[in-house]
């Protein structure tokens, strides 16, 4: 007990303090045993005091009495550190260690954020592919990406290529393969119509255009093979290769590709073996893009765009009731479309298959040659045709010099904005 401890030290310390003598070990042990004899401790604790605790405390007290330091706790701490062999810790050293740990923690946080963004960009691209191909692939069986073979040593995941103190990034230099003006223009048209490259900034698009290499395949030639490692993706300029997969022991055709399609990107996005075989059935001209350029340009651009979309959607009143995860799902499916002054984004009487959100610029809804509504950044339109499955009720035309809108296709609109459809129906009266 606490009072028993006080009794022990009151019986022991005054003698040491007054005599300033170091008695023989036998005498010390005897005195300690006598001091604890009458205390209400168990015998085990009494033995611990006499044999373990007392010798250390006695030496420390003697040193204190010899030195008589002004700061007793600091002196005792230093003495115990020396005795334990830990040595003294310089305050500067401690601060340096603390700063180092803070830096490591910050670096780890950056790693988590970067990895998360990379995963989001990968998901964004795969969702874009699904949306673009929904009309062709609704009758196809969705096949999972095959896992790497157990015996294969996996390469570092592209999605996890995050750089910090322990993983220094090497300067990226994109390859350059000169092309004729005709080739460049043709390739530009193909890329700007592809979901994966359509939203690249001009400077990034230029890098990709220069980095791509033209490849020609004859009928019967396998362009990529299921199960193999992949280091490049392809964009089809000419030809209609077939996509084949092994299903239940048989190789089956699961898709007929066409000009403008992208294939081979899954191996780069998910660091997995090729998910299918693509084989030319006629003369096939493809443009090949390497992994490094894809990672540094295309995927990074998708990551930045996702962040920009998330920030923008937070300011749109329609999405105020959605949580961050729900908004991120919408961001993954959005596409950017640009229009010039006087251009119609939608036309009265046409079938409607997209929902639009104004990001930049000004537009006007026109019905029977009358302006019935104006749109600015954060406004949305096109939902009525999707909600009611009917033609467009009005045309929407750009009235500013340029306009940039975000579009969501019918499939994504129905899937992701389901909880908001009642709110959208209530607001439909504004158009009448």
Q: What is the pLDDT of residues 214-244, one digit of tens each?
A: 999 999 999 999 999 999 999 999 999 999 9
On whether the CB atoms of residues 231 and 288 are closer than 8 A, the answer is no
Give the Cα separation of 121 and 328 in Å (integer): 11
| Highest averaged pLDDT of the listed ranges 8-22, 33-47, 292-306 | 292-306
Q: What is the pLDDT of residues 147-175, one digit of tens each?
A: 444 334 444 433 344 445 545 556 788 89
Residue 366 has a pLDDT of 93
| Highest averaged pLDDT of the listed ranges 95-99, 133-137, 426-430 | 95-99
Considering the entire predicted model, what is its pTM?
0.46
Q: What is the pLDDT of residues 365-389, one digit of tens each?
A: 999 889 999 999 989 898 888 888 8
Residue 365 has a pLDDT of 94
Please, which pLDDT band fits residue 142 given cuts at 50, 70 and 90?
very low
Give the Cα separation of 287 and 265 in Å (integer): 13
Of residues 27 and 357, more confidently modeled: 357
Provide the strand spans (E) within 38-177.
none
Q: What is the pLDDT of residues 421-430, one digit of tens each?
A: 666 766 665 5
Residue 158 has a pLDDT of 39
């Amino acid at each position: 007990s606490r009072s028993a401890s006080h009794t022990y030290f009151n019986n022991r310390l005054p003698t040491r303090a007054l005599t300033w003598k170091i008695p023989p070990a036998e005498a010390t042990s005897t005195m300690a045993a006598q001091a604890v004899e009458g205390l209400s401790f168990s015998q085990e604790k009494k033995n611990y005091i006499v044999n373990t605790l007392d010798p250390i405390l006695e030496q420390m007290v003697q040193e204190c009495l010899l030195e008589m330091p002004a700061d007793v706790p600091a002196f005792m701490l230093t003495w115990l550190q020396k005795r334990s062999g830990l040595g003294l810790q310089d305050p500067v050293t401690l601060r340096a260690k603390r700063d180092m740990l803070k830096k490591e923690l910050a670096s780890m946080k950056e790693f988590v954020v970067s990895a998360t963004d990379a995963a989001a960009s990968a998901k964004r691209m795969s969702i874009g592919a699904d949306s673009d191909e929904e009309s062709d692939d609704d009758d196809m069986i969705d096949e999972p990406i095959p896992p790497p073979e157990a015996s294969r040593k996996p390469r570092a995941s592209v999605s996890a290529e995050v750089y910090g103190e322990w993983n220094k990034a090497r300067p990226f230099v994109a390859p350059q393969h000169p092309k004729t003006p005709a080739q460049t223009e043709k390739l530009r048209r193909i890329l700007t119509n592809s979901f994966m490259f359509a939203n690249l900034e001009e400077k990034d698009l230029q890098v990709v255009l220069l980095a791509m290499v033209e490849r020609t395949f004859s009928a019967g030639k396998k362009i990529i093979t299921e199960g193999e490692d992949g280091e490049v993706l392809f964009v089809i300029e000419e030809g209609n290769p077939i996509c084949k997969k092994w299903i239940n022991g048989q190789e089956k055709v699961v898709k007929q590709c066409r000009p403008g399609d992208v294939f081979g990107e899954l191996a780069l996005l998910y660091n997995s073996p090729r998910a299918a075989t693509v084989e030319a059935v006629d003369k096939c001209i493809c443009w090949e893009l390497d992994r490094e350029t894809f990672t540094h340009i295309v995927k990074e651009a998708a990551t930045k765009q996702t962040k920009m979309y998330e920030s923008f959607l937070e300011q749109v009143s329609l999405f105020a009731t959605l949580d961050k995860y729900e908004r991120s799902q919408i961001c993954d499916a959005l596409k950017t479309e640009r229009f010039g002054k006087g251009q119609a984004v939608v036309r009265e009487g046409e079938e409607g298959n997209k929902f639009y959100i104004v990001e930049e610029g000004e537009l006007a809804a026109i019905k029977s040659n009358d302006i019935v509504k104006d749109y600015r950044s954060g406004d949305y339109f096109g939902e009525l045709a999707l909600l009611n499955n009917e033609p467009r009720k009005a045309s929407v035309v750009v009235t500013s010099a340029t306009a940039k809108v975000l579009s969501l296709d019918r499939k994504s609109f129905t899937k992701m904005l389901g909880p908001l459809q009642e709110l959208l129906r209530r607001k439909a009266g504004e158009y009448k």
